[in-house]
Amino acid sequence: MNTIPQSLRYSSLLLLFKYPCRNSINNQISLAHFGLFSSSSSSSSRRNFSQKSTMSIRYDFKDKVVLVTGSSSGIGEGIAIHLSSLGANITITGRNVERLKRVGERCRQSSLSSSSSAKVLEIIGDVSKEEDAARLLNKTIETFGKLDVLVNNAGAYQIASIWDDNYMQNYDMMFHINVRSVVHLTKLAIPYLAKTHGNIVNVSSVSAQKPAANNTLYAMSKAAIDMFTKSMALELGPKHIRCNAINPAAIRTPIFNKVKNSDLNTDRMAEAAALSYPVGRIGEPLDCANAVAYLASDAASFINGVCLLVDGGSVNSALIMPEGDSKK
């Protein structure tokens, strides 16, 4: 066992508990990138939360064309709005007409407020359907003439136990949406990305690295995305196409309301999730958007094949040990 990296990880976590970042929490979080949170530490040993805004670092996406799937809500919405504010021309897509219109308007407002004059293309569709994926890409090229960045964000989440009668149906659904649709759209986009020396950012999950009971199918599908990301980095690198991923943990999005869990109400789940994070809060869509903006920008031109954790240290949180009562 290599003790140096382990000791460094442990030390960093202790420092976070000693000098924590603080933030407020509310009653909406996403379990889609949740994994398993620890309940071993009592609430009395944790710190109170005070408000602290998520910082936004600016990169220049002027004249860039970005396609963001699953962008009618949640993480995809946050990515689209943020990249619009950085000057990118954005194609957003989703299945809900009203929500997509709302996100499109927010992208335009974000663009105007930053004086970037970026354009927004809204396309209703389901990327898990091959004909919709092809139409999405063709319409983007027809409108903007090129593609610089593909953000594969669309995905599905389903709690599933191996004991469930419909387990294999859930398996097929999860892998069709979370894996096959990503591979298919990526394959369609490659010729256009090769022309612009563009890049791909996949939205994976901390679940790919941190297993949890009844989360096997989702975790497996996201682990597949991690390996797809790394493999594409090797295959597409010689064509000057980079491929990276972000791996979010719990993110404050409306998807929590779709998760059926009668044991915990929304407030209790949000509190439990935040308390299990070394930085003292769950994530915001802007945390993911900042990570995507960096990986997709020229500032990350030497970053390829990386699966970047956006998790507040939650993957390593099991390493935290109680401080004890010894005098210092």
- Catalytic positions are 218
Residue 263 phi/psi, 5° resolution?
A: -80, -30
Residue 210, token pair as written in the block? 């941190």
CA distances from 53 to 22, 47, 127, 281 (A): 9, 18, 33, 11
Long-range pairs, 179-182, Cβ under 8 A, ≥24: 179/221, 179/224, 179/225, 179/228, 180/128, 181/127, 181/128, 181/133, 181/154, 182/152, 182/154, 182/225, 182/228
- C-alpha span between 157 and 217 (Å, rounded): 9
Of 113, 119, 118, residue with least CA distance to 56: 113
- C-alpha span between 157 and 255 (Å, rounded): 9
- Taking each continuous run of H as one helix and of E as one strand, the counts in the chain are 9, 7
